[in-house]
Amino acid sequence: MITLLIVFILGVPLVTSVLTYTLYCYEESNQSGTPLGQLLPNVLRTAIKSYVYECIILVLHPLGLWPDLWTRPKAGQPIVVLVHGLFHNQSAWVLFRHWFQNQGYTVACFSYPSWRTDLEAVESSLKSYLEQILTHYPDQPIHLVGHSLGGLLLRGTLSQLPNVKSIKTLTTLGTPYQGSKLAPFALNSLGHILRFQGEAVQKIARRPFPAPVPLLAITVPTDNMVLPNSALHCDQLPCTQKTSMPISHVAMLYSKEIFFLVAHWIKSAPKQ
């Protein structure tokens, strides 16, 4: 049993990294015209790190199954709400949560069972969760951060909130604003909504977005889960876009450079 578990933890990330970066090279070479030989050095370094971080994600995953883990912020401090992506849970934010707390924020994590839910159900849960925080902490500034699908969920749900006065910023990390060509491999209904330029992502893009909430979309140039990488661009909204160093989609969750980009964005938000 232990042997099978070790094989699973080491094998699944290996297969995922190899396949996704093979497809990344194919897509990027066709999109940009860059010869494969010029892509490989960066891709190999990034793929190795991607493998390591995906192993960590699997090892930490059971921690996120703990009911109500990190869901309630503390009173009296600025609140950062973190929303994970597809097939992850709140354990993916273990470092971001630690780093934010060190900078004087209280952190709340919204988690959803992405293996067995659909878009309507998770949006409804997220809306209720945010409304509770807005009601219970009316005088605390709130900052929203979403990784991958989590960013898309926040972008879509914000348009449904009656009052966003306390919400000061939204930051998305590697969010597939235009979907991804890898969506058909997701094998579940929530993953399938991310089809590249599909109906669901276009529907979310057409929703009104509250103008007072500044939006930062952080991307990496070697994202192996959002293909093509141009699908990361948030062209439908007034948005600040920043591209970080070449790392993988999952590695964004463990990068201090990414964290500092988010922290700087939050600190530069208007205080009123």
Q: Quick check: 270 pLDDT over 80?
A: no
Question: What integer pLDDT is reported at residue 248 of this predicted model?
Answer: 97
Q: Can you spell out the DSSP letters for 6-59?
A: HHHHHHHHHHHHHHHHHHHHHHHHHHH---HHHHHHHHHHHHHHHHHHHHHHHH
Tokens representing residue 260 in the block: 């500092």
Tokens representing residue 263 in the block: 């922290």
Tens-place pLDDT, residues 68-108: 889 999 988 999 999 999 999 999 999 999 999 999 999 99
Task: Point out which residues pair with 145 in neighbouring strands.
Answer: 82, 171
Tens-place pLDDT, residues 126-141: 999 999 999 999 999 9
Tell how strand 79-83 and strand 142-147 pair up: parallel
Tens-place pLDDT, residues 178-205: 999 999 998 788 999 999 999 999 999 9
In the CATH hierarchy, which top-level class contains the domain 66-267? alpha beta
- Please report which confidence band the pLDDT of residue 37 belongs to, taking 50, 70 and 90 as the band edges: confident
Q: Quick check: 271 pLDDT over 70?
A: no
Displacement of CA 106 from its chain's centroid (Å)? 19
- Please report which confidence band the pLDDT of residue 269 belongs to, taking 50, 70 and 90 as the band edges: confident
pLDDT exceeding 90 applies to what percent of the chain?
74
Q: Quick check: 67 pLDDT over 80?
A: no
Tens-place pLDDT, residues 153-172: 999 999 899 889 999 999 99
Question: What integer pLDDT is reported at residue 261 of this predicted model?
Answer: 97
CA gap 5, 3 in Å, rounded: 5
pLDDT mean over 8-18: 88
Q: Can you spell out the DSSP letters for 184-201?
A: GGG-SHHHHTTBTT-HHH
pLDDT mean over 218-232: 96
Question: What integer pLDDT is reported at residue 114 of this predicted model?
Answer: 86
Question: What integer pLDDT is reported at residue 149 of this predicted model?
Answer: 97
Q: What single letter denotes the amino acid at residue 215? A: L
Residue ranges of the domains in the chain? 2-63, 66-267
- Please report which confidence band the pLDDT of residue 272 belongs to, taking 50, 70 and 90 as the band edges: low
